[in-house]
Chains A and B, each alone.
Chain A
């Protein structure tokens, strides 16, 4: 399964991934228009500090045995058989926040007004997710875990 990995050694915690993610998931998809949208688009990635000068960009890990899918009482959160990705069906979501309660990575955010949740969808309209493209140090990459290990020489 291909997903987004972060090389902690390269991550500066600069937040470029957060901005790129929010813009990609906005109505206009352009930064200067995005900032005047209401409600503001929600980022699905976060640059988080582990300690001083150590950072990681995290988001949905598309877990194999996903706690959010198990907790979802409406069938909105599901595993896509073909890709193994954890996907979210807005038509089914009722905004009960049970997935937020269950996600060990804190990777699910709320659209409070819409009573919906949002999380990383790997940017279905793009070849490469927006965050990966925006990462100035190439800390973020899209691929399998094997490919990620190779990329990091591990």
Chain B
């Protein structure tokens, strides 16, 4: 059996580990266009901020491929899949055969389609290479413009502020973090970020990046100009599905997968930021391009490639962010778009705490907690297992809410909470 995995970040690495756990000797080939993978993509903004040293971003050891007997083809891009011949064409013209294939090609930063995007000093923040290149020019940078107020844009803004730069963030929509948290949580975060000296401009977009060869500024759609030497583009990511083109593998936004992480083509699987899966909260097919989902999908795809029968319960949007000591975590739907959803909200201005759950028919579809995050995982379990919380809805946002309070729901639940650890805690109830 020859396993081939395209991609060597969260999903690809998890798949290697899962296959090796079941199968010690079969051949595994990993193809990656990154020369030096095995770093944690989520940590590159920490590296840019200077809050961790470079050692910390290697989340697996250098010897990972060797220890797992993986033939790693690094710095090489897979460009075409021939599903009939079970063969992959590489950019060095070589071909690689597979018996089972995992597509874990991830996603690429969306770049703005505006004039000047190709000037020196314009970067997305997605790979360790980007971080190294940005770091190399920081001495010459006084001012930074960040385009986009999402997670990556703000993490980049935080990092560069930490490096002593003058940072301005331009956000097209009316609020920061609009994909992740609701307006109330976003405004608490915005207040804290602005207090610490990062400027945020909402409802403004860049229409041009100005300068000669190098960046000198951005021209904004409200007519004003902003001088800067560095531009960071934080406009989200789009899945790397080009490899699936003409292969017969079905795609929508991402590569479509079933609950075994299989594509429509036999022996071809997809996992991570490139794969589209059932979203537990939305109850529809979606991409959740987040680290935990990539690891879980990689693990399950790997097990299924190795012949196991693991079911993927679906993905769930979740993000954890902290800026200047103010943490926020969200899971599932935080900005409901229809009135079938009800909300329970608790605000405590004195402690800077904000909590909200979003309900649909007595079942939690989403949650956001600011500055009091310790029990949010318990709520996450209620979302995943679709427990009816009607009986505990009055206490769910209280400080004393904890795992103990959901034990009666676990006991009542017929389909959910299948992990053995839940049952173990209930044994003596």
A-B contact count (CB 8 A): 143
User: Are A94 and B56 within 8 A (Cβ)?
Assistant: yes
**CB within 8 Å of B: which A136-154 residues:** 145, 148-149, 152, 154
Q: Given A51-B408, A94-B46, A96-B320 in contact, is the A65-B377 Cβ separation under 8 Å?
A: no
- A9 to B426 alpha-carbon distance, docked (Å): 11
Contact digits for A71-94, partner B, Cβ 8 Å, 1 yes 0 no: 101110000000000000001101
Chain B residues whose C-beta falls within 8 Å of the C-beta of A149 in the assembled complex: 427
User: Are B420 and A64 within 8 A (Cβ)?
Assistant: yes
Instruction: Give the most central of A63, A64, A65, A71: most B CB within 10 Å.
Output: A71
- A71 to B319 alpha-carbon distance, docked (Å): 10
Which of A8, A104, A145 touches B378 (beta carbons < 8 Å)? A104
Chain A CB within 8 A of B424 CB: yes
Tally of chain A residues near chain B (CB < 8 A): 49
- A108 to B32 alpha-carbon distance, docked (Å): 35
Chain A CB within 8 A of B194 CB: no
Residue of A whose beta carbon sits closest to that of B296 = A70
Secondary structure call for the B interface: helix
Chain A residues whose C-beta falls within 8 Å of the C-beta of B327 in the assembled complex: 97
- A154 to B420 alpha-carbon distance, docked (Å): 16
Chain B residues whose C-beta falls within 8 Å of the C-beta of A5 in the assembled complex: 424, 427
Residue of A whose beta carbon sits closest to that of B295 = A70
Q: Given A71-B292, A73-B42, A97-B322 in contact, is the A48-B373 Cβ separation under 8 Å?
A: no
Chain B CB within 8 A of A55 CB: yes
Tally of chain B residues near chain A (CB < 8 A): 50
Chain A CB within 8 A of B65 CB: no
Contact digits for B337-373, partner A, Cβ 8 Å, 1 yes 0 no: 0000000000000000000000000000000000001
Residue of A whose beta carbon sits closest to that of B429 = A8
Shortest Cβ distance from B62 into chain A, in angstroms?
13
Residue of B whose beta carbon sits closest to that of A10 = B428
User: Are A61 and B376 within 8 A (Cβ)?
Assistant: no
Q: Given A7-B428, A55-B404, A152-B427 in contact, is the A101-B291 Cβ separation under 8 Å?
A: no
User: Are B378 and A105 within 8 A (Cβ)?
Assistant: yes
User: Are B408 and A50 within 8 A (Cβ)?
Assistant: yes
Contact digits for A21-60, partner B, Cβ 8 Å, 1 yes 0 no: 0000000000000000000000000101111001110100
Which of A56, A64, A95, A101 touches B377 (beta carbons < 8 Å)? A101
Chain B CB within 8 A of A100 CB: yes
Shortest Cβ distance from A122 into chain B, in angstroms?
15
User: Are A61 and B424 within 8 A (Cβ)?
Assistant: yes
Residue of B whose beta carbon sits closest to that of A13 = B404
User: Are B40 and A8 within 8 A (Cβ)?
Assistant: no
Q: Given A8-B428, A98-B291, A100-B376 in contact, is the A106-B403 Cβ separation under 8 Å?
A: yes
User: Are A92 and B56 within 8 A (Cβ)?
Assistant: yes
Residue of A whose beta carbon sits closest to that of B408 = A50
Contact digits for B379-402, partner A, Cβ 8 Å, 1 yes 0 no: 011001000000000000000001
Chain B CB within 8 A of A110 CB: yes
User: Are B378 and A106 within 8 A (Cβ)?
Assistant: yes
User: Are A64 and B421 within 8 A (Cβ)?
Assistant: yes
Residue of A whose beta carbon sits closest to that of B411 = A50
- A149 to B423 alpha-carbon distance, docked (Å): 12
Q: Which of A's residues lie within 8 Å of B, judged by CB?
A: 5-10, 46, 48-51, 54-56, 58, 61, 63-65, 67, 70-71, 73-75, 91-92, 94-98, 100-110, 112, 145, 148-149, 152, 154
A-B contacts, 5 of them at CB < 8 A, read A6-B428, A56-B425, A61-B425, A65-B419, A67-B377
